[in-house]
Amino acid sequence: MRTHTSARASMPLLNAHRVFRSSNISSYARKFIAIACTSSCLIAISQTSSAKKPGTDQNSSADIINRLAPDGVAPSTLALAPAQKAQIIRSLTIAKQQETGPRRQMAMYLLATLGQDYQINRNSLLKIWQGCAVKNHDLGCDENTCDMLIKLYKQGHKELLRPILAGSHYSDGALSEELYPFYVDRLDQNQQEFISALATFHPSEQSQICVQVGNEVCEQSGGGPTDGSYPALMQTLLTKLKKTDGEIANRCSRAIRQGYQNQQSAILQEEKGPQTP
C-alpha cells in the first residue's frame, strides 16, 4: 500500500477527476503474499508451541500482530481452532491496550474479525474512519483503515456499506485506489444494495459518489474508447441502473456518465502533454 498523506482536498461535485494509472502490481502482490503468509503463520504458531520454554507465550502481544498481519496487511479472514483462538484473542486484547496508531487499528480489526467485542471494535474503527470522511479531521485514518472496513463488509457486515460510501468526500490518491474499485464492484454485483445505501445521502452527495464510479470505470479501462462508445463494464453498470429505475438510479447514471467523461478528458489531455504557446 502507498503511504497516505494527511492532506485532503474536497473535490468539485461533477468535475472531479483522477489521473494515476501507475501499476498497482506490487501493492496487489503484497496483499496476495500477506494472505498466503497468514495461514502459514497460524500453522507456525501452533507448531512452535512445544518448542517454547515453560512460561513463555509464543502469541505475545508484541508479535501477534506481525504474525497475523504480515507487512501490515489485514488478512481477509482468520480460521483458528478454539483453543488457539482463545489464546490469540487474549494477546490481541493486550495489544489493543498497549499499541498505538496503525498497529492498534490492526488489533481492533483482528478482534472484530474473530468476533470478539465486534460492535466495540467496529465502532472504534468507524470513529477513526471519520478522519477520512470529514474534512480536516484526521484521527489517523488512511487507506489501511479503508481496507479493514471493506474486508469486514465482505465478511458479511453489510451495515458498513453506508459509512464506506461516505469516505468519498475527501479521499486522496492512495485512499481512492482502495475505495473506488470497491464502489464499482458493489454497484456491479448488487445494484439494489448500492442504491439503498446511496438513498441515505443528500442528492448532491449521491452524485458525487457516482461521479467517482464513472472516474474509476474510465481509469480501469485505460481511458476507454475514443469514438463515443463505452467499455463493457460501463455499459453493464448503466444497464443495471436502467433496470433498477427510480430517481436515485437515474441520478447516479447521469453522474457516472459525467465522471467517465471528465476522467477520459483528463487522460487524453495528459497523453497530449503540455500545450506549447
Q: Spell out the domain ranges in the chain.
A: 23-167, 171-271
Lowest mean pLDDT: which of 60-64, 66-70, 88-92, 148-152?
60-64
What are 195's three cell numbers? 442504491
Q: What angle do CA 137, 149, 120 make, to 5 degrees?
A: 80
- Contact status, residue 130 vs residue 110, Cβ threshold 8 Å: no
227 compared with 155, residue with greater pLDDT: 155
Unique residue bearing C-alpha cell 467517482: 212
- Contact status, residue 168 vs residue 8, Cβ threshold 8 Å: no
Kindly state the helix (H) or strand (E) to which residue 19 belongs, with its residue range. Answer: none
Lowest mean pLDDT: which of 10-14, 62-66, 151-155, 273-277?
10-14
Report the C-alpha gap between 75 and 191 in whole angstroms. 27
**pLDDT tens digits, one per residue of 197-222:** 999 999 999 999 999 999 999 999 99
Q: What 8-state DSSP symbol labels residue 69? A: S
Report the C-alpha gap between 227 and 273 in whole angstroms. 21
pLDDT > 70 in the chain, percent: 76
- What's the number of CA atoms in the CB half-sphere (13 Å) around residue 33? 10
pLDDT category of residue 136 using cuts at 50, 70 and 90: low
- The model carries a pTM of 0.78
